[in-house]
Amino acid sequence: MIAIIMLAVVLIAGIVAIIDSIPLSVQKVYGYSRFLTGVTPRGDMSYFPTILRHFEKSPVPIERRIICRTSIFNVNTIVGPWPFVLHGINPNDFDYLSNKLRLGRLDGRQPISGRGEAVITKPIAKNLRLHLGSIMLSPHDEKNYSLTPVVVVGIYDSDQWFAYTSYEYLVQTHFPPVDVAIYFAKDQQTQRRLDAWADKTLAGTKANVYTYPKVERDTAESLAVLFRILDLVVGLLVVVITIMMCMLVNIYLSQRIVEFGLLQAIGISRKRLVTRTVAEAAWMILTGWIVGSAVTAAVLTLIRNVLMNPKGYYIDPLDPLAYVYTIPVPAAVLITSIAIVLIKFAKFDPIAVIERRIV
């Protein structure tokens, strides 16, 4: 009985934690966008000056504007490759950016303008198994393509995911020739206000606005279906396990019917017997749940440390959502157990046991 609950808890919490690691990965991988509001014209570069003019009238104070180019490469996740941005940055913005994004200490050097050189952060290095001098993009690599090979010349010692090369390099090698304006505010709160303002002002124009809240919203939306399926699976699991446990509880009580009959005959009140039995059941169920949760946490921690961390994958072994999802199982089993105990004792005649008419 304890084992069944335990297994169910491990199963559910495990699945939920793994699915819930997706938004966690999004948060980590695209975490840098928390610090900025990005705007780019949709295809038509002639609209770019209009965008810049819009921002000159921004009511939210802007700390700095950076003009850059972007290209896309892929990082690995448990759900397959995700697109990630290689920014083309002007050398005079390097220092500002590394401070703003808290990129920490740089191992190696900054890319030289116009050359196939890039700087990345530690998680990306782990994720793509890159070292100083590794080729990150190349003309022979379909997934991570560039016209000429791009070599890693610097790695920041930071948990942030960020990658950049020089503006000039992307101008020379990358199509289409579309600039991105990145605006920084002095702190997170102001940045969110800037995000909201930009979203509102540029809605319906030929500008594309990238903000962190948008990333989060998109993730939540795309995972909504998955979570609905999860609800269904957990619901089914609860039903199956509850039915199974009902049968077990029934057998268990039948095995102890002589004990209950005897105790009731010699003067233990029905109330006390019911309370005692329910307490026993509750104790078992709680034990199963706690042990199951502990096992899950241990297994997930192991998975994280051995399998996920080295690849720059993320999972939270103590994900509250995972453990919340396991609650319906013990709750349903507890409620049905109590119901079965009550029903059994309601029509229970100790004399019948004493007289050996039921055993």
Partner 1 sequence: MIRTETASLTYWDHGRAIKACDQISLAIRKDEFVGILGPSGSGKSSLLYLLSGLKDPTAGVVFYDEQPYAQRPPDERAAIRLNAFGFVFQQPFLIGFLTALENVMCANGSRHEHRARKLLESLGLQDKMNRLPSDLSGGEKQRVCIARALLHEPKVVFADEPTASLDHETGTQVVEMLVRNRNGALVMVTHDESMLTQADRVLRIHEGRLQESS
Binding site for partner 1 (CB under 8 A): 258-259, 261-272, 350-351, 354-356
Phi/psi of residue 101, nearest 5 degrees? -85, 5
Peptide bond connecting 350 to the previous residue in cis, omega within 30 degrees of 0: no
**Token pair belonging to 302:** 């192991």
Instruction: Give the nearer residue to partner 1 in terms of CB position, either 2 or 268.
Output: 268
CA–CA distance, 210 with 213 (Å, rounded to integer): 9
- Whole-number Å distance between alpha carbons of 303 and 280: 34
Report in angstroms how near the CB of residue 349 gets to partner 1 at its nearest: 9
Return the number of the residue (186 or 256) whose C-beta is nearest partner 1.
256
Least distance (Å) from partner 1 to the CB of residue 287? Answer: 18
Nearer Cβ to partner 1, position 63 or 280?
280
Cβ 282 to partner 1 shortest distance, Å:
20
CA atoms within 13 A on the CB side of 173: 26
Closer to partner 1 at the Cβ: 228 or 256? 256
Q: Which is nearer to partner 1, 46 or 255 (CB)?
A: 255
- Characterize the bridge pairing of strands 207-210 and 64-77: unpaired
For residue 21, CA distances in Å to 275, 300, 318 come to: 41, 11, 11
Other Cβ atoms within 10 Å of 302 Cβ, number: 12
Whole-number minimum distance, CB 226 to partner 1, in Å? 47
How far is it, in rounded angstroms, from Cα 333 to Cα 6? Answer: 12
Task: Indicate the residue among 268 and 295 with the shorter CB distance to partner 1.
Answer: 268
Minimum separation from the CB atom of position 353 to partner 1 (A): 8
Q: How far is it, in rounded angstroms, from Cα 234 to Cα 329?
A: 8
Tokens 């949709």 found at = 42
Residue with tokens 């029509």: 347
Is the Cβ of residue 231 or residue 355 nearer to partner 1 in the bound state?
355
CB 146 within 8 A of CB 71: yes
Identity of residue 193: R
Minimum distance of partner 1 from residue 18's CB (angstroms): 41
Question: Toward partner 1, which CB reaches closer, 103 or 253?
Answer: 253
The pairing of strands 163-166 and 80-89 is parallel
Distance CA(245)–CA(5), nearest Å, equals 9
Question: Angle of helix 270-303 relative to helix 2-29, nearest 10 degrees?
Answer: 40
Choice between 106 and 268, CB closer to partner 1: 268
